[in-house]
Amino acid sequence: MESQVRGGTRWKRFAVVMVPTVAATAAIGVGLAQGALAASFSVSGQSFKVTAEELHGKGFAQYGAIDSGYTMSGEKTLHPVAVSSFKSATIKSLCQSVVTPNIPVLGSVSLTLKAGSSGDKDKQVSAKNLYIDVENLDSSKAVFHGIDIGVAAGDTGADKGGKGPGMKEGKGQANPNGFAQQATAADLYDVEQTAWATTAGTFTLPGLSMKLQQGKHECY
């Protein structure tokens, strides 16, 4: 089975590319009611941007959750996110950027990280048990293989017969009875996303390059 959808999304629609808005909003409401936490740590007051030429993942699952964190002034806050998870993934031409504004004398300072070849398969970024807490995402094309929409989030892990890596453990989780989707594989092209957290069992970055620059220099 294969499902293909073109276009972009925002977190209020709550899925990589396809979940109906009504279901998404309900899922966020459940997460808030349960006081769910997605990341296994308190997220910083800065989201970051990520681009990739291609992302190919196996064992995909996605569910709604809430990240607990701080504002830049230190106040506690919450961020509704769509947690996209993969048992394994390869990424072509990864770029990650974060901008710190209002630094005395310097103004804004950008941290940019790049890794992974566009053509050489042996030099692409790879990850296992990858979780990305996404606020918004755009992709020119997404293809899902063997997709199930409307699965209980707690049943997406292999221990429950699901296709994904299981819900993230740590300081808290999303509601295991909440809305989720899963697929045996997912292929995304021309990816642009804003995220609050990324965690992985392993994250391999061939050709890693990190640069600090004054001013605003983002991946997109």
Task: Give 32-44 pLDDT, tens digit per residue.
Answer: 444 445 677 889 9
DSSP class per residue in 47-106: -EEEEEEEEEEEEEEEEEEEEEEE-TTS-EEEEEEEEEEEEEEEEESEEEEEEEEEETTT
**SS3 at position 12:** helix
Residue pair 32/79 in contact (Cβ under 8 Å)? The answer is no
Considering the entire predicted model, what is its pTM? 0.82
Strand partners, 9: 137
Residue pair 27/153 in contact (Cβ under 8 Å)? The answer is no
Question: Can you tell me which residue has the tokens 């409307």?
Answer: 150
Question: Using CA atoms, how far apart are residues 37 and 31, in angstroms rounded to an integer?
Answer: 8
Task: Give 46-75 pLDDT, tens digit per residue.
Answer: 999 999 999 999 999 999 999 999 999 999
